[in-house]
């Protein structure tokens, strides 16, 4: 029964939708778990505010792992942390095993949603979404050796170099580029 208690607790901490159901009706929210009465009572005794605080702490830890991989994107998009946290609180992370670091695995998981969010925000630099993908895909390929690709409207290698030097391109030239990420290098060519 300890396994069922742990599963229920982790689910409450990781899944915002389940926490909302729990806040409205704790007993009904826990019906999906094979809990004994004392375990159910122990979980029902946890204040929702504490579960929310614990959930935010877990998301902050995952953000810290991911943020280490994104030094360039964070210079261009300082609001990315807020954007990530809002997404991560609604999208629970599954347990995972693999070759990737926690940050790279989380980056790949968040890539579709955050890329779309950055692309569709006119307040962001026009290349912020692609720079985010550039850093995530590069870190993932360095981590597991799996080749990955990216098509960008911009010369991302040049943009990345400018950002590394402290320059933030304001109106970069549109130059479609195909990028290929491998363990030890990034290949690129005009598209």
For the cut 70, the answer to whether the pLDDT of residue 118 exceeds it is yes
Q: Are 98 and 145 in contact (CB under 8 A)?
A: no
The domain locations on the chain are 2-46, 58-190
**Cα–Cα–Cα angle for 17, 20, 25, rounded to 5 degrees:** 125
**Does the pLDDT at position 1 exceed 70?**
no
Using one digit for the tens of pLDDT, what is the confidence trace for 42-71?
Answer: 999 999 999 999 999 999 999 999 999 999
Mean pLDDT of 127-156: 98
User: For residue 72, with 0-12 CB atoms within 10 Å meaning exposed, 13-18 middle and 19 or more buried, which class applies?
Assistant: buried
CB atoms within 10 A of CB 171: 7
Over residues 90-99, the pLDDT tens digits come to 998 887 778 8
pLDDT band at 185 (very low <50, low <70, confident <90, very high): very high
And the tokens for 97?
């095993």
The overall pTM is greater than 0.85: yes
Whether 3 has a pLDDT exceeding 90, the answer reads: no
116, 100 Cβ separation under 8 angstroms: no
Residues of the chain with pLDDT > 70: what percent? 99
């Amino acid at each position: 029964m300890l396994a069922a208690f742990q599963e229920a607790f982790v689910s409450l901490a990781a899944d915002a939708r389940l926490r909302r159901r729990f806040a409205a009706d704790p007993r009904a929210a826990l019906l999906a778990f094979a809990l004994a009465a004392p375990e159910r009572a122990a979980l029902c005794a946890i204040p929702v505010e504490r579960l929310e605080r614990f959930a935010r702490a877990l998301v902050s830890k995952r953000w810290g792992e991911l943020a280490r991989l994104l030094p360039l994107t964070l210079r261009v998009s300082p609001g990315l942390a807020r954007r990530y946290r809002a997404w991560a609180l609604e999208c629970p992370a599954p347990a995972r095993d693999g070759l990737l670091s926690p940050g790279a695995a989380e980056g790949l998981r968040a890539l579709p949603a955050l890329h779309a969010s950055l692309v569709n925000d006119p307040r962001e630099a026009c290349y912020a979404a692609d720079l985010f993908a550039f850093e995530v895909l590069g870190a993932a390929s360095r981590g597991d050796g799996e080749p990955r690709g990216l098509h960008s409207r911009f010369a991302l290698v040049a943009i990345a170099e400018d950002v590394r030097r402290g320059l933030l391109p304001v109106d970069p030239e549109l130059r479609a580029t195909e990028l290929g990420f491998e363990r030890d290098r990034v290949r690129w060519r005009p598209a």
